[in-house]
Each structure stands twice: as C-alpha cells, then as structure tokens.
Chains A and B, each alone.
Chain A
Amino acid sequence: MATVTLKGIKKVYDNKVTAVHDFDLEIADKEFIVLVGPSGCGKSTTLRMVAGLEDISAGDLYIGDRRVNDVEPKDRDIAMVFQSYALYPHMTVYDNMAFALKLRKMPKDEIDRRVKEAAAILDITQYLDRKPKALSGGQRQRVAIGRAIVREPQVFLMDEPLSNLDAKLRNQMRAEIIKLRQRIDTTFIYVTHDQTEAMTLGDRIVIMKDGFIQQIGTPQEVFDEPTNMFVAGFIGTPQMNFFDGKVVKKGDGYELHTHGAVMELTKAAQEKLKAQNITEKDVTVGIRPEHVHLAEASKATLGAKVDVSEMMGSEIYLHVDADGKDVVLRIPSTELPSEWRAGIPYGTQIAFTFPPELLHLFDPETEKNILL
C-alpha cells in the first residue's frame, strides 16, 4: 500500500526513439489506475519503468516517499503479473507462488499459510502440485496472480494480464479481478489496450497515444468529457461518430450547421464559444452511436440511407450512409416500430438527430474539444 508518483518520466531508447514523453501522474494509495492505449503508445514501457525493468531516461519516480529511479526491481516491493504469465516451468504451482517468499527467507509455515490462502482465494488449491505445463490458460493466469498476491506488495502491476485468454474467460477473469481488488485493497497499475477493461476496472484511466498522455480521468469523465478526438474515438463501442460542421454566431447565441441540418446548442456550450470570441468556425461534431436517435425529417435532422442493420438482441446497430459519411446508430429495439424490429431493409431512407447536450465539438485542426 503506497502512493506512486511519476514526475516528468521520460523513456528514450538507445536508437533515439522516445517511447514515453514527460509522463506526470500521481497515484493515490489503494487507487486502481489503468493505462490504456493502442499498441506502441508507451503504456507497457511506463509500467516496466515503475517495475524497474526499464531504465528511466529522465524524471523522478517515487513509491511512497522513496525515490526509486535507481532501486533494483527486487527492492521496490512491487509484484507484477506478466502478459505471458512468465510462470517458472520447472517449478510446481506451489513453488512458483512460494518463490518470492523463499527468497525473502520467510519462515516455512508462514510461506505455507500465505500460499494456501492465495490458492484458496483463486480457487487453485487442487493444482498446487502441478507444473504450469499441465494447466489451462485460465488456471495459469490465476497462478500468475497468486504469485503476485502472496507477496502482499505495496504496488501491484499488471501488464495486459487478460489478453491471452479467450473472450468468455476474459470477462470472467475481469470480474474476478474486481473482486480480488476489493479483497486485497492495494495500489494497482493495470495496462491494457482494451477500453472495456479500462472502463470497468479503473478508478482512473490514463489514455495514452504515441508516448503522450491524452487524458487522465475517471471512466465517467473520459466518457462524458473527452479532451480530444482520439480519446472520444478510443473510449466507447461502437466508436463515436464524427461529422464536419460549422458553428455560426446568430444574434446573441450560436447554432450548429452540419450536413444540411441546423441545430441549437446548449446554453453552456454557447457560453464557451462566446468566451472564445468565435463568430464562425469549422468544427468536427462528435456524437456517440447510443445518443443518436431516429426522428421525423425536419430542419434539425440529417438524412441517411440504411447500409447494414445488425440485430444484437436488445438493440440494433444501424450503419447508415449520411451524405457519403458512414454513421453508426445504436437503437434499443423497443424504440423501433414493430416492422423494423427484425432489422431495417437496405436502402431505407431515415432521418436522425441528437440532443445538443450530448454532442461534442472538436477543433478540426488541433482535434481538441472546444467545449471544455
């Protein structure tokens, strides 16, 4: 249990490639932080720097009050779960879990107690005598977690621990990690490329791209108030829709023109635009598929032609062609007229709109959210 502080952490590899740029983050005691981003964004490198497996090129790393830049991994009091699990193949499950404790010269009965306790939590007691080779992927995963929890470390690091599991097992293990977290209550840093894992597990999420932090926030914050188009597109499935549009000052307020539709903006949004002294500006409009709904054609709606309709059971994913732009709508099947419940035929003309309080406006050049 400890805070972890990263101050201006930077990683430059020998070949002059910078993997992580000025990473600043303060992780509170017992917080669950998720680093998320596409591959190559520097999230694993950051985690490995915290673990001490990569040198820190610049900046300061603190675990608790101790600066640990030059402290060996073994002396950092951290535990790590690897993507490949990295179980020692020549040791039994029991020995794998006891390894770190034996190195610490812990009394035998204490080791035994901790290993058995962890095994019970993870439901792997019956496999303690087996070698990792004789276990399934999910069981190996549990052993890897078990090896980390017997340590009772200050910080728990997990590097894409679920990415080698199949979809069903992944959902199950995700739930177990949430349970486990409540049980062992320590500081977690969790790396993943899966935004669902990030949203469901994290107290706060750090979204990274190309070595830069894009946004740090609670799942709710990054979902509702994405700082830029990358975050907006990365969080949420299906992806947020983006349209070209234009905000135009009209009288004391603003209205939004997009693909022939003219929409009102909320008071708050208009205040923000006014504060930036905008009279007329090209914008990118972002709206999540679940916030789009079908409507009678009017001045405030966009017209589109149905391309594909995917019946998901409780809802329909509707891919439509609006003025040459592919847009996805997520519509609860209960809101559909009965003749469309099974799917909407190809080529059907529809009209849709979205509520002004749920749309996002981005600067097309900087891609930044201009309503924040």
Chain B
Amino acid sequence: MRRSSMSKALVRRETISGYLFLLPSLIFFVGFVVYPMIMCVYTSFFDATMGKDRQDIFIGLQNYKDLFKDPAFLKALKNTLVIVIVSVPVTCAFSLWVSSAIYKMRGPIRSAFRCIFYLPVVTGSVAVTVVWKWMYNNYYGIFNYIGKGLGIIEKNINWLGDERFALGCIILILLTTSVGQPIVLYVSALGNVDNSLVEAAQVDGANDLQVFWKIKWPQIMPTTLYIMVITTINSFQCFALIQLLTSGGPNHSTDTIMYYIYYQAFKLYHYGYGNAMGVILAIIIAIFSAVQFKLAKADTSY
C-alpha cells in the first residue's frame, strides 16, 4: 500500500517535470501555431478587416460562398493544382533517378553531388530568384540566347511575361529548389537497404531492373511517402517565387492560393476572406496527404 502510494507520488513528480521541460516550446507552439490557427478559422466566418476601429461582422459561410464564385481564386486553385500535379511526380522521379545513380559512388564524389543538388535549398530564395529572373530576361537572358543560338526559338520570348510560359517557368525554379532534400533522403534510404536482400534477389535470378523495382523500391517506400507528402505541402505553399518574380501576373496566370491569400489579406485587407482561403488550402493539403498515406500504406506494411 505504502509502496504504491509512493510510486504514485513519484509518477506525479515525473509528470510535472516532464511538462516543465515541455513548457518553453509548448508556449511557443500554442502562442504562434495553435492560437493563430484557431483565429484563422474563427475570423474566416467574419467580414474581418483588422483595421484600427475593427468592427468584424459575422457573416457565417459567406466568405466561403464568395470564394467559389471568385474567378481569381478558382484560377489560383487551378494553378496551384497544376504546380502540385507536375512537381510532385517530377521531383520524386528525378530525385530517385539521381540518387540511384550516385548512392553507390565513392564518399567524396557522392557528397559533391549531394552538395550540388542541395545548394539551391540552402541558398536564400531571393538570391536564387534574382539569378533566375536574370536567366529568364527578355533582352539579355541566357534562355533566349541559347534558344536563338540553337534555332529553337525565332525571336526573344518574354518568359515570365507570357501567359503561356510563366507558370512553367515558376515550376522549373520550384523543381530546382525542391529536389535537394529528396535526393539526400533517397541516397541514405538506398544506402540502408540490406545488401543481403539484393544479393539474395540476384541469386534468385533477378536482373538489375527487377532488383530495383521488386526489392529496393518496396524497401524505400516509407521514404517515398515522406518525400511525396513534404513536396506536396511545399508545392501547395509556393509563395516566395511568385511574390518575387511575377506577383501573380500576367493576368493571374501565376497566381497560387498562397499568393492570393497574401494579396487579399495584406494588400486589400480582406482578412476574413484570406483566412477562409487558408482554411480551404489546409483542408486540401490534409486530403492530399491522407490519400498519399493511404495509397503508400498498402505497400509499406511489413
């Protein structure tokens, strides 16, 4: 009896100290993540302006109803989906291809490749964007120079200023910044595949391609899943590139939801409207991630 009451006290003390250790990050998490999230959902039901004499008017679901009648939002939604649908598979496939080519190389060479592909991730996005802006330039950009030199294009193209090309140009930049982490992850995942499984498969009669798809690919499925989810989320939240390069133009052809939220909330002060979009974006990302988990889960359960 005495012992159990003592251990209860002990448990309580441990619980308290556990929470004390958690407290600093918990305060930050609640103050800067949980509270804003709740506020976001809350204000999305108001005609919120957050002006000096703020008089938020409760309008129920009106913001959400308006959203789906707003052609700019629908365009932004479409653009965002295009970015996600193009960049997620391309990022996964490209980084898997690069990683499987470099993971068997010797240490220094492998590190050099990883470094090259990771560089755009750690370089400030402003610096990256400035360089790309220069490369895409209508008059002295390298793309026009090479394109004309090789006779692919006849006259200079205003890459970012042309509705037909602008979104593609954005996606290309996004790809360079998003393959770095997947490559690093894939290289280590491939390196961790038990070599005796590969040897067993070789003895069993598998060629290199069969070894890859039937043995290695299922083994790295958890990594693929993770990469798909983070790339999806990153692509949905594509913002800085748009802000720095095109501001959503020309004619909303590069608007993304993220950029449109910023535009509505901070340029036009339609906070409630912007927050409603934020909620929609969060829901879409959650659905996408859940589907990816569901699909990949079927393959990774062992």
Chain A interface (Cβ < 8 Å from any Cβ of B):
51-53, 72-75, 78-80, 82-84, 86-90, 99-100, 103-104, 131-133, 147, 151
Residue of B196, B221, B299, B302 touching A84 (CB-CB under 8 A): B196
Residues of B with C-beta under 8 A to A100: 204-205
Alpha-carbon gap, A75 to B207, bound state (A): 10
The count of chain B contact residues (Cβ–Cβ below 8 Å) is 21
How many A-B contacts if CB must be within 8 Å?
Answer: 67
Cβ contact within 8 Å between B199 and A103: no
CB of B189 closer than 8 Å to a CB of A: no
State the Cβ distance, A13 to closest chain B Cβ, in Å.
Answer: 15
Residue of B199, B204, B215 touching A53 (CB-CB under 8 A): B199
Alpha-carbon gap, A212 to B196, bound state (A): 26
Q: A73-B199, A74-B204, A103-B210 given. 15 additional CB < 8 A pairs?
A: A72-B202, A73-B202, A79-B203, A86-B200, A88-B197, A88-B218, A89-B197, A89-B219, A89-B302, A90-B302, A99-B201, A103-B205, A104-B205, A147-B204, A151-B204
CB of B194 closer than 8 Å to a CB of A: yes
State the Cβ distance, B118 to closest chain A Cβ, in Å.
Answer: 29
Residue of A74, A131, A151 touching B302 (CB-CB under 8 A): A131
CB of B206 closer than 8 Å to a CB of A: yes
Contact A103:B206 (CB < 8 A) given known A86-B194, A90-B299, A90-B302 = yes
Cβ contact within 8 Å between A86 and B197: yes
Q: Which of chain A's residues has its CB closest to B195's CB? A: A86
> Can you list 20 A-B contacts (CB < 8 A)?
A52-B202, A72-B202, A73-B199, A73-B202, A74-B202, A74-B204, A74-B206, A74-B207, A75-B205, A82-B199, A83-B196, A84-B194, A86-B194, A86-B196, A88-B200, A88-B201, A88-B215, A89-B197, A89-B219, A99-B206
Alpha-carbon gap, A103 to B206, bound state (A): 7
Alpha-carbon gap, A99 to B218, bound state (A): 14
State the Cβ distance, A47 to closest chain B Cβ, in Å.
Answer: 11
Chain B interface (Cβ < 8 Å from any Cβ of A):
194, 196-197, 199-207, 210, 214-215, 218-219, 221, 299-300, 302
Counting chain A CB atoms within 10 Å of each CB, which of B218, B299, B300 scores highest?
B218
Contact A73:B203 (CB < 8 A) given known A86-B196, A90-B218, A90-B219 = yes
State the Cβ distance, B210 to closest chain A Cβ, in Å.
Answer: 6
Cβ contact within 8 Å between A86 and B302: no
Alpha-carbon gap, A88 to B210, bound state (A): 13
